[in-house]
Amino acid sequence: MLTDAYADQALPISCGQTISQPYVVAYMSEQLRVQPRHRVLEIGTGSGYQAAVLSRLAREVVSVERYRTLGDRARERLHALNYSNVDVVVGDGLVAAAERGPFDRIMVTAAAEAIPQLLVDLLANDGVMVLPVGPHKGPSTSSA
């Protein structure tokens, strides 16, 4: 619905994924402290919304999406909208960008249980990484 475009909430997209709520996109982008000279790696392209925001802040954005449907659609969308400094790569986020590093900034849009060492290794000196860290499963609600 058109009214959903103005809601500050996550919205469903293809492949059972969601687009983050606008506040989260803005907050994570702010925490990344991107400068115009930076190369940014984004893990989790989704619709391409976060990559589009980052592209206006950074010199280059490499965005990795594991779902081909989402990656191809985001690439087409970003190209059609003239976001020429974004490269969407389809593949495993921890592997697909390994030969493209180092990166000044790394953003991971999905939670990880721990900080992946491979991503730490892809950070340039004085690099910054933003990712949600915590258990994938919430606390158990079963009782004995």
Active site amino acids: 20
Identity at 86, one-letter amino acid code: V
| Nearest to 87, CA basis, from 53, 106, 60 | 60
